[in-house]
């Protein structure tokens, strides 16, 4: 179980720092962050990268860094906290691909990382017998008893 916590910690740190850097770049230079053109936003409700930069910095960046930091305290609900920010990353990537009308390698990479984070978070929830995994365990137990 230590390995799951350690991997999740490093993934959250990696995603969080990267998202904070990208979000900061988008907030400080909303017209062309890291060389991206605002023309890429033509299918989105945004005219520049400022608002997406704030969301990226706060939700994905600070959220993942906070989740990694909270691993130090071995909280009972760490699986939930980690899961929330893992699914936030997955949703962020899907929405970004739709709005940009493109899929590039980084989208695939961070989608996979977010999905791995979500799976590892579910492993923690199963190990701690927390909702919804307690329902899955109960259902499985009832099915196996009837056989």
Q: Where are the domains of the chain?
A: 2-146
Q: Mean pLDDT for the chain?
A: 93
Q: Give which of 12, 129, 4 is closest to 70, Cα–Cα.
A: 12
Q: What DSSP element (H or E) covers 140?
A: helix 133-146
Please, are residues 65 and 21 in contact by the beta-carbon 8 Å criterion?
no
pLDDT at 96 over 90: yes
Q: Diameter of the chain by CA atoms? A: 63
Contact (CB, 8 A) for 12 and 67: yes
Instruction: Indicate the SS3 state at residue 18.
Output: helix
| Predicted pLDDT of residue 145 | 84
- Mean of the pLDDT values across residues 111-122? 97
Backbone φ and ψ of 21, nearest 5°: -65, -45
DSSP state of 34: G
Predicted pLDDT at 50: 97
Least confident of 12-21, 52-61, 131-140: 131-140
Higher pLDDT among residues 114 and 146, named by residue: 114
CB atoms within 10 A of CB 93: 22
Coil, helix or strand at residue 75: coil
Q: Write down the pTM of the prediction.
A: 0.89
pLDDT at residue number 76: 83
């Amino acid at each position: 179980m230590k390995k799951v916590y350690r991997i999740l910690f490093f993934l959250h740190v990696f995603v969080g720092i990267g998202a904070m850097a990208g979000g900061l770049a988008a907030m400080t230079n909303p017209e062309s962050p890291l060389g991206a053109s605002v023309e890429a936003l033509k299918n989105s409700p945004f005219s520049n990268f400022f608002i997406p930069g704030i969301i990226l910095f706060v939700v994905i960046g600070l959220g993942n860094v906070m989740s990694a930091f909270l691993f130090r305290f071995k909280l009972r609900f760490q699986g939930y906290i980690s899961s929330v920010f893992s699914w936030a990353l997955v949703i962020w990537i899907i929405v970004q691909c739709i709005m940009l009308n493109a899929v590039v390698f980084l989208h695939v990479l961070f989608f996979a990382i977010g999905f791995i984070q979500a799976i590892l978070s579910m492993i923690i929830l199963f190990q701690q017998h927390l909702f919804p995994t307690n329902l899955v365990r109960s259902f499985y137990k009832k099915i196996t008893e009837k056989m």
